[in-house]
Amino acid sequence: MMKNASIPTKLQKRSLELKKKFGSQSIREIPRSTLRVSLGVYKKYVNETIKNKLDQDWVEGMSEKRTLERYSTYKTVRGNIEHIYDNTRGSRLLANARAGCLQTRKFRSRFKNIGATCLRCEREEETQEHVILECEDPPDAECIIRKRLGLHEESTPKMIFDTKVMLEEWV
């Protein structure tokens, strides 16, 4: 009856809404020729299509930002590590470090008339790498930085917590 009267169902309205919102023509309605279609299977299909579109937009959005170079290179899956952010100052600094915009002296020296030398060791420029490695220069610095920022599969909650504490002490 609804088909004959051209009255769309809630599912058809929602499918159209999702097509417009996500700009995805790949979301299709349940084929009318199929009388018995599992609504659960269709819902799974729509959710997967939307997730893929959001993932694609996420990757494209990061590729446009130079500061997210390290983050986009090593963060391969959308979402976050559980308990990585806990609304503390260290969490804010960790987020800035992961995004490549930690307010180090080297970074601030581009905008203010200040020296870029680290105030802790007074030997090297205060860069994000220098701060996170605690004024050290280990042989595999990039891997250690990724682990401490939670961008490595071997990152542990303790490493991330220690990084947040160290960042809080740095500021």
Strand-pairing partners, residue 117, are 125
* pLDDT confidence tier of residue 155, bands split at 50, 70 and 90: confident
Q: What pLDDT is recorded for position 42?
A: 73
> Once rounded to an integer, what is the mean pLDDT over residues 55-62?
83
> Once rounded to an integer, what is the mean pLDDT over residues 146-164?
88
* pLDDT confidence tier of residue 35, bands split at 50, 70 and 90: very low
What are the extents of the domains in the chain? 10-26+36-64, 79-170
Nearest CA to 46 out of 23, 19, 20 is that of 19
Residue 144 phi, psi dihedral angles, 5° rounding: -65, -40
pTM over 0.85: no
Q: What pLDDT is recorded for position 17?
A: 79
User: To which H or E segment does residue 100 belong?
Assistant: none
Q: What pLDDT is recorded for position 44?
A: 80
pLDDT at 63 over 70: yes
Answer yes or no: are the C-beta atoms of 93 and 150 closer than 8 Å: no
List pLDDT tens digits, range 66-118.
778 888 777 777 776 667 778 888 888 888 888 888 888 888 898 888 988 88
